[in-house]
Amino acid sequence: MTNEPRAPRILVALDFPDGSEALALASQLSPTQCGVKVGNELFTTAGPELVKDLVARGFNVFLDLKYHDIPNTVARACAAATRLGVWMINVHAAGGPAMLAAARESVDTTARALGRRRPLLIGVTLLTSLGAPELAAIGVAGTPAEAVLRFAKLTAAAGLDGVVCSAEEARALRDAMGPDFALVTPGMRPAGVGVDDHARAQTPQDAVRAGADYLVVGRAITAASDPLAALASIAASIEVAA
């Protein structure tokens, strides 16, 4: 996390089927209190113009498209994302060293040409929907924690800024990777909120205590009657935990 001042810890997942709903929610939030995450569904329906709109409103935008392809294709996608002005991009660590290095070079080169701060480039380790049975089914050896650590080391060796991981792995990764390696934890569920399809979900407080830097929070905020109040409550709880 060497290329930025401290950004808001909470990233609100704009997991909506269309841009109008996402922007309506964004209008209730403050970019000084949170960033926002744009994932596959929203980007597919609303496209880059929505991302540009959110950037123009002052939000740190995490473009969560999990690029995973041959190195040249991923490099070109990362360049396009950098030109959008997003704050964070992610790629699958399973794409391998050459793909990761190509993404890093592309982000650096594009940002330098634009004369702007480069976005954070984060590796996806394991999706939080995957537990031990799913790993065995796809032929990945070891426990989820062991696989995540392998992917994190691969990501760091390629010069990326950090990884997406579950809160369950955050403490071990913080110990292994040091204080400057960014940890982004999705699947955050405050107490009393269902975990949906996240097999390795934990509370925001758990994640912060374990060493997470950024927390992706969805319907605990987006489905709240007062999203800004819900955001403020979660922010206050993690400050106490920190």
How far is residue 214's CA from residue 194's CA, in Å, rounded to a whole number?
A: 20
Residues 9, 236 contacting (CB under 8 angstroms): no
| Catalytic pick among 37, 52, 66, 153 | 66
Burial 127-139 (b: 16+ CB within 10 A, else e): bbebeeeebeeee
How far is residue 161's CA from residue 183's CA, in Å, rounded to a whole number?
A: 9
Residues 216, 198 contacting (CB under 8 angstroms): no
> Is residue 37 flagged as an active site residue?
no
How far is residue 115's CA from residue 150's CA, in Å, rounded to a whole number?
A: 34
Active centre residues (catalytic)? 66
